[in-house]
Amino acid sequence: MHARFPIFAKLAKTTRALTAVSLALAVSVTASGSASAQANLPVVRDAEIEALVRDYARPILKVSGLSKSGIDIILINDTRFNAFVAGRRMFINTGALLQSETPNEIIGVIAHEAGHIAGGHQERLREQLARAQTMAVVAGLLGIGAVVAGAAANSGELARAGGGLAVGGGEMARRGLLGYQRSEETTADRSAITYLEATGQSAKGMLKTFQRFQNALALSGSRVDPYQVSHPMPRERIANLEQLAKNSPNYDRADSSTLQQRHDMMRAKIAVYTQGQSAAARLFRKNPQGLPAQYGDAMATYMYGNPRSALGKADALIKAQPNNPYFHELRGDILMKANRPADAVGAYTTAVRLDPVKSGILPISLGQALIAVGDPASLKKAVAEIKKGLQRDRENSSGYRYLAQAYGQLGEIPEAELATAEGHFYRGAYKDAKIFAARAQQRFKRGAPGWVRAQDIINYKMPSKKK
């Protein structure tokens, strides 16, 4: 339960045998929340990785004029290299993060994607997706053949989404899902160069990534990553890009050593979580004494080894960087696994306090530890911490599950049922959400805040069925 990669987004499954594009469309207009069969969209929720990737994106979004566009970044647990924008969400695969040796490589990809958004490429599609369940299209893109219905909360938006997508469907299908034209690639490349220039960064990483794809295409039988399918990379494009990149005075400018270290620690984490115990050691075999290798070792020991040994390794990391919130988070995870929840509370409390970006994930972990401690005072604190986390991260459906648990153990049953209803609601399981909201409502006083919120869920209008 303390896995750092909780897979939380639930998808309503369909059995229709359609292409990814039309499947996503078909399902999003019929996303009536049938909770009967659900599949998972493997969304990664991790405070450290989210904070880092947002740090990569922030300056780029600022200079591209997109800071106010509400671009959210979602991490997908997929080993293939991919990054794309759907609606107002930028999706990045963990595979892309793991394969990129420097921050600059990912920053370059983000700059290129920002170039597509700023250039208004596929604007109509984006506009429709912004109002719709973009996760649905993403699910189709990933070949999951399913739709999430839990991403958006505004009922009006959802109700309109169906119609908008139905109108745009033909065009989307014709152009290929999120595939770009060559002229758009050239524009996005030029924009990306401008953004990197304006932020004093090199385009070397972007060039390296694209060159790699060009080489990969030449190898017959090699695995084709989705990124090179949606972003055509003819030789002349890469040649032009190389020229532009090398003209910049920033071309040889490297990422700061601090940023590189954070990047390597992220890669160590992804390696251990997705490729097993010795993956980080393999990744950093040239520098086994470095902090990223040590971090990978500590995480591998936490996952596969004994907690006491893992704890010693976490303590060594904390000694090296006392103010790193994620080392304290790891320490909390280890203590939870060692069945020492009271000590885990201390570790997570430190992590929450040190977190500069105030992720919602860390207070929710703290809340879980407080639930495990289990006395009434701790349970009350758990409620407060989890609520704090949910205020920062409103769609964190697992947070509602823990909130319901804390209320349940406190004997506050209507609140527990309302929290359960909210969790189902944000996962898109509207029928279940309404059932629990109705049960909560029977116990709340008419007109009380909980009663009103339950009524909102009961009144929520699901997207109308078409076909």
Binding site for Zn ion (CB under 5 A): 180, 185, 188, 231
Identity of the residue, 57 or 418, whose beta carbon is nearer to Zn ion in the bound complex: 57
**Minimum distance of Zn ion from residue 144's CB (angstroms):** 23
**Minimum distance of Zn ion from residue 249's CB (angstroms):** 25
Identity of the residue, 113 or 343, whose beta carbon is nearer to Zn ion in the bound complex: 113
For Zn ion, the nearest residue by Cβ is 231
Name every residue whose Cβ is closer than 8 Å to that of residue 451 and which is 6 or more positions away in sequence: 441, 444, 445
Residue 174: how many other CB atoms lie within 10 Å? 8
Measured CA to CA in angstroms, residue 328 lies from 54, 213, 364 at distances of 21, 38, 14
Identity of the residue, 104 or 228, whose beta carbon is nearer to Zn ion in the bound complex: 228
**Minimum distance of Zn ion from residue 189's CB (angstroms):** 8
**Minimum distance of Zn ion from residue 231's CB (angstroms):** 4
Identity of the residue, 13 or 212, whose beta carbon is nearer to Zn ion in the bound complex: 212
Beta-sheet pairing, 9-13 with 146-148: antiparallel
Identity of the residue, 181 or 459, whose beta carbon is nearer to Zn ion in the bound complex: 181
Among left, alpha and beta (phi > 0; psi -120 to 50; other), residue 42 is beta
- Residues 165, 161: Cα–Cα separation, whole Å: 6
Identity of the residue, 50 or 185, whose beta carbon is nearer to Zn ion in the bound complex: 185
Identity of the residue, 188 or 370, whose beta carbon is nearer to Zn ion in the bound complex: 188
**Minimum distance of Zn ion from residue 140's CB (angstroms):** 19
Residue 142: how many other CB atoms lie within 10 Å? 20
Name every residue whose Cβ is closer than 8 Å to that of residue 276 and which is 6 or more positions away in sequence: none
- Residues 455, 453: Cα–Cα separation, whole Å: 5
Q: What are the beta bridge partners of residue 11?
A: 39, 148
- Residues 117, 123: Cα–Cα separation, whole Å: 8
**Minimum distance of Zn ion from residue 142's CB (angstroms):** 18
Identity of the residue, 232 or 346, whose beta carbon is nearer to Zn ion in the bound complex: 232
Identity of the residue, 95 or 115, whose beta carbon is nearer to Zn ion in the bound complex: 115
Half-sphere exposure of 355 (CA within 13 A, CB side): 26
Work out the angle at residue 453's Cα, subtended by the Cα atoms of residues 448 and 459, and round it to the nearest 5 degrees. Answer: 120
**Minimum distance of Zn ion from residue 206's CB (angstroms):** 10
State the first-to-last Cα distance of the chain, in angstroms, to the nearest integer: 40
**Minimum distance of Zn ion from residue 188's CB (angstroms):** 5
Identity of the residue, 46 or 185, whose beta carbon is nearer to Zn ion in the bound complex: 185
H helices of 14-153, where?
20-29, 47-63, 94-99, 103-118, 123-131, 134-141
- Yes or no: say if 307 and 337 are a contact pair by the CB < 8 Å rule: yes
**Minimum distance of Zn ion from residue 125's CB (angstroms):** 14
Return the closest-CA partner of residue 331 out of 354, 352, 315: 315
**Minimum distance of Zn ion from residue 131's CB (angstroms):** 23
Beta-sheet pairing, 72-76 with 43-44: antiparallel
Residue 135: how many other CB atoms lie within 10 Å? 30
